[in-house]
Amino acid sequence: MNNEYIRWKSKKLKDNDLNIELEKIKDNNEAIEDAFGINLSFGTGGLRGILGAGTNRMNIYTVRKATFGVASVLKYGSSVAVAFDSRIKSDLFAKEAAMVFANCNIKVFLFDRVSPTPLLSFAVRELQCDGGIVITASHNPAEYNGYKVYDSKGCQINPFTSDLIFKYMENIDVFNELPNEMDFNTCLEKKLIEYIDDSLIDLYMDTVCKQAFYEGSRSIKIVYTPLNGSGLECVLGAITRRGFTELKVVKEQMYPNGLFPTCPYPNPEIKQALELGIRDLINTNSDILIATDPDCDRAGLVIRRKDEIRILNGNETGILMFDYICNMRIKKKIMPKDPVAVKTIVTTDLAKKIASEYGVNMIETLTGFKFIGDQIAILEESGKEDSFIFGFEESCGYLSGTYVRDKDAVNAAVLITDMADYYNDIGINILDRLEQIYKKYGYLMTYLGNYEYPGMSGLEEMKKIMFVLRNNSLMTKDYLKEIGHLHSDVLKFEINDLGTAIVRPSGTEPKIKIYYSSEGYDMIDSDIKLKKLISIMERMLNLA
């Protein structure tokens, strides 16, 4: 039997749910090996895993271990901001992390309720902290939770810092005791932990509202769903500050609930998560539906045009925002002298054409919004912070300001309502503008394929697939030409005249992602090419 399981079983654990689970799996060697066979990996995205007992699970002990690692990097006398979303045990994990920091003589500024991830980034910057953490697993299913780490700029940590934290963690026992033996209440009394005042949240919402461009009729009708996550307070606060009154929130998904009872995947990219919102969109005869994920850093968009209901993907919403920002900045004569936008390599190349049209320098980064945040930091260091006008990634992450260093769904909601109000006032629908963009720049269609590989065996299968792609000569037939792989575990392929496929293992979930892109002379031609491209890749790798 696994020795680490035996060690955990011999202890009376602080969280009794873990004791119950350990007893439950005592005769299940496969479950024990899955929970204790490896340690939960720590990378630039921090920790993410299934809740439960074990070294390969999210629990108070793996959270403590990670926090000791972060504290070792921050050193004595530093300060951190700590936030959490609506997930199961998020508040407990946040308090455990805060307590570890405080016992390591690191001052903690803690949010007292569920908060959006971008608000954490804002707090780090405003409170001049040395770092920050947020307890979240973004849009993963309910059985997951996670732990993201931010630097003093409010940006997710870089690979060097994550490697350093991991090295410290390797020498920390998962049951490491608190050095000063102070409990949470004692830390509060000694002011080593301090709750963040609501005035900072108000300042954040005011700052986000400044990203809008248009003072219009405010006559559009809006449906919003936070998908039982952390977005309600700030998204509603920002939209109502902007003067919109025709606003309905999806009742079943209004309040924080880590079980996510209405949808197993609280992801604003997928239709199932949007069904209740679409119901309200139709029943209230509204114009747009905005959905945000549990930690409110991603935003999904659904448009109604008469009887047509259209779910936009992240690329479509992104190019609409980018086009709108460029257009409004030129109209208002506030376009920077050398404007800069940033996108990831898996995000639509249509953005490059739009950038060229408006004279914007488009920078491409590896996958992950932290790399977009890094580009903003580079601009800031060279005194060109104001040159940044927009950053986005295909997975519904957007940012149009420099007040944070991460994607911001509150910012996205403000821009979407601003854009919808403007187009409504000039007599067109957002979909009309999207069609104009396609007609002008090209019918470039995209699709994201997610292929799941759960468990330890799944991890090995993912490695095998990436190995085959890089090394098997069968992967270089006439219809397949490797363009090259980047420093990240990413491969880009060009398949005849059908389009491109970018393959990478997910950094946060047990799945391989393939980003498909095809361009044709019209929507139908693009769609036909896209389906052929998907079929070729799936057959080739036995993914279908």
Catalytic residue numbers read: 138
Phi, psi of 134 (to 5 degrees): -135, 135
Q: What is the DSSP letter of 42?
A: -
Containing H/E element for 204? helix 198-209
Extract the tokens encoding 359.
Answer: 């004279």
The number of helices, as runs of H, and strands, as runs of E, in the chain is 18, 20
* Amino acid in position 488: S
C-alpha span between 490 and 474 (Å, rounded):
19
**8 A C-beta contact, residue 341 and residue 389:** yes
**8 A C-beta contact, residue 140 and residue 450:** no
What is the three-state SS of 284-301? CCCCEEEEECCCCCCEEE
What is the three-state SS of 347-395? CCCHHHHHHHHHCCEEEEECCCHHHHHHHHHHHHHCCCHHHEEEEEECC
Extract the tokens encoding 33.
Answer: 């090996």
C-alpha span between 210 and 241 (Å, rounded):
11
Q: Where are the beta strands (DSSP E) in 345-469?
A: 361-365, 388-393, 397-399, 443-452
C-alpha span between 392 and 302 (Å, rounded):
18
**8 A C-beta contact, residue 89 and residue 51:** yes
Please give the C-alpha separations between residue 161 and each of 74, 271, 458, in angstroms, as whole numbers.
10, 37, 28
C-alpha span between 99 and 102 (Å, rounded):
5
**8 A C-beta contact, residue 411 and residue 208:** yes
**8 A C-beta contact, residue 469 and residue 462:** no
**8 A C-beta contact, residue 350 and residue 442:** yes
**8 A C-beta contact, residue 240 and residue 417:** no
Containing H/E element for 518? strand 511-520
Q: Is 319 exposed, middle or buried (0-12, 13-18, 19+ CB in 10 A)?
A: buried
Containing H/E element for 544? none
C-alpha span between 370 and 121 (Å, rounded):
11
DSSP string computed for 93-141: HHHHHHHHHHHTT-EEEE-SS---HHHHHHHHHHTT-SEEEEE--TTS-
Cα-trace Rg, the chain: 23
Q: Is 19 exposed, middle or buried (0-12, 13-18, 19+ CB in 10 A)?
A: middle
Give the position of tokens 């570890």: 100
Q: Where are the beta strands (DSSP E) in 261-326?
A: 288-292, 299-305, 308-312
